[in-house]
């Protein structure tokens, strides 16, 4: 999808050190002159991540908890030309017990997982609409399907993000701009370190491959693994007394 533009493609990764985001970039079949903008808060780690990618990489400062940064990151990304793909991969998974002890942490988690995506992606959508082209990739989660007592604040933020992404896709229909909604299950990696893997778990590389393939097709949403789609339907049907007993 980045091959026939007649100019080098440009990709923005919000959450520029995200394992899943970087795996998506690594799986993209894109020319070597593609420019990748890695947006995040740790310049050194962003630069190190860029060195591992087969593209021309640059770093943009981005703190998802700062309203000014949410605005400026999109201005800066589009300042040097069109952006073809925006990947929204920022996220944190704060344990529910910590949120119970300090509800202020819950507000920060919702800002990182939901509010910052709404503000940055609305701004990006405006730019892409004017371009008449582009794709927004949103990292939702199976956690959006039904809140679990083990992480219901995270689930609530993801449910909000998932609803936002579906509304945004409808709002952009016919403009040439596409939204790809990605719903992974448990992904074994940095975010879930120390947690026992759940059924139908995957790796960042598997998510990357699935997203890269979906970008090449006309898909508007992708479950990773695919079997999670029907499994999610079943999750919605589990009787509530049973659901409540789930420990995680
Ligand atoms: N891992 C899973 O099981 C799983 C499953 C489904 C969906 N997802 C979603 O997929 C996305 C990527 O997850 P991942 O597995 O790749 O996790 P990850 O490797 O921990 O990446 C999270 C990214 O968010 C960034 N971030 C967090 N708070 C930020 C802030 N205030 N400002 C700027 N950047 C911030 C991190 O930056 P730093 O490096 O600076 O911390 C990092 O780049 C997330 O939205 C996550 O919720 C993950």
Read off the CATH number of the domain in which 109 is found.
Answer: 3.40.50.720
Q: Look up residue 69 and give its DSSP letter.
A: H
Phi-psi region of 15 (alpha: psi -120 to 50; beta: other; left: phi over 0): left
Residue nearest to atom 1 of ligand 1 (CA): 187
195 by DSSP, 3-state: which?
Answer: coil
Q: Residue 209, class by beta-carbon neighbours within 10 Å (0-12 exposed, 13-18 middle, 19+ buried)?
A: middle
**Minimal-distance CA residue to ligand 1 atom 3:** 187
Phi, psi angles (nearest 5°) of residue 55: -130, 175
Q: At CB < 8 A and 24+ separation, what contacts does 238-246 make?
A: 238/146, 243/146, 243/148, 244/149, 246/148, 246/149, 246/150
Q: Which atom of ligand 1 is nearest to the CA of 63?
A: 32
Domains held by the chain: number? 1
Is residue 88 assigned to a domain? yes
| CA 54, 55, 56, 57 torsion-angle sign | negative
Q: Is residue 135 part of a domain?
A: yes
**Selection from 183, 208, 185, 186 nearest residue 196 by Cα:** 186
- What the block records as the tokens of 106 is 């819950």
For residue 197, is it within any domain?
Answer: yes
Atom of ligand 1 nearest to the CA of 201: 3
Is 200 among the domain residues?
A: yes
**241 C-alpha to center of ligand 1: Å?**
32
Whether the bond between 225 and the residue before it is cis, its omega within 30 degrees of 0, is: yes
- Is residue 153, in this structure, part of any structural domain at all? yes
Q: Is 190 in the pocket of ligand 1 (CB under 6 A)?
A: yes
Q: Given this model, what pLDDT does residue 248 score?
A: 75
Is 2 domain-assigned? no
pLDDT bracket for residue 71 (50, 70, 90): very high
Residue nearest (by alpha carbon) to ligand 1 atom 46:
91
In a domain, 5, yes or no: no
Q: Tell me what percent of the residues of the chain surpass a pLDDT of 70.
A: 100
**How many other C-beta atoms lie within 10 A of the C-beta of residue 64?**
26
Show the DSSP H helices in the chain as ranges: 19-27, 43-51, 67-79, 96-101, 103-110, 116-131, 152-172, 204-216, 228-237, 240-244
CA within 13 Å, CB half, 30: 28
Residue 158 has pLDDT above 90, yes or no: yes
40, exposed or middle or buried, with CB in 10 Å at 0-12, 13-18, 19+? Answer: buried
| Structure tokens that stand for 93 in this block | 């998974």
- Give the tens place of pLDDT for each residue, 172-190: 999 999 999 999 999 999 9
3-class secondary structure, 108? helix
- CB of 154 shorter than 6 A to ligand 1: no
In this predicted model, what pLDDT tens digit does every residue of 229-242 receive, in sequence order? 999 999 999 999 99
Q: Which residues are part of the catalytic machinery?
A: 154
Tokens standing for 132?
């008449």
pTM metric for this prediction:
0.98
pLDDT score at 123: 98
Average confidence score pLDDT of the chain:
97
187 within ligand 1 shell (Cβ under 6 A): yes
Is 147 inside a domain boundary? yes
Please give the residue range of the domain that contains residue 118.
Answer: 10-244
- The percent of residues above 90 in pLDDT, for the chain, comes to 97
């Amino acid at each position: 999808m980045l091959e026939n533009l007649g100019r080098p493609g440009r990709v923005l990764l919000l959450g520029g050190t995200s394992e899943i985001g970087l795996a998506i970039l690594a799986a993209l079949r894109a020319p070597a002159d593609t420019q990748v903008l890695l947006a995040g808060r740790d310049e050194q780690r962003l630069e190190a991540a860029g060195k591992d990618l087969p593209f021309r990489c640059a770093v943009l400062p981005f703190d998802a908890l700062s309203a000014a940064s949410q605005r400026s990151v999109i201005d800066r990304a589009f300042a040097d030309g069109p952006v073809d793909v925006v990947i929204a991969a920022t996220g944190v998974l704060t344990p529910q017990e910590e949120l119970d002890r300090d509800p202020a942490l819950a507000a920060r988690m919702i800002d990182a997982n939901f509010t910052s995506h709404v503000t940055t992606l609305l701004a990006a959508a405006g730019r892409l609409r004017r371009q008449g082209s582009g794709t927004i990739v949103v990292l939702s989660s199976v956690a959006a399907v039904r809140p679990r007592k083990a992480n219901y604040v995270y689930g609530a933020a993801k449910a909000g993000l998932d609803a936002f992404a579906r509304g945004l896709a409808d709002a952009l229909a016919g403009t040439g701009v596409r939204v790809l909604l990605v719903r992974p299950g448990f992904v074994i990696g940095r975010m879930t370190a120390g947690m026992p893997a759940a059924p139908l778990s995957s790796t960042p590389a598997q998510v990357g491959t699935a997203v890269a393939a979906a970008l090449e097709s006309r898909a508007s949403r992708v479950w990773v693994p695919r079997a999670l789609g029907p499994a999610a339907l079943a999750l919605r049907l589990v009787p509530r007394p049973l659901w409540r007993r789930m420990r995680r």
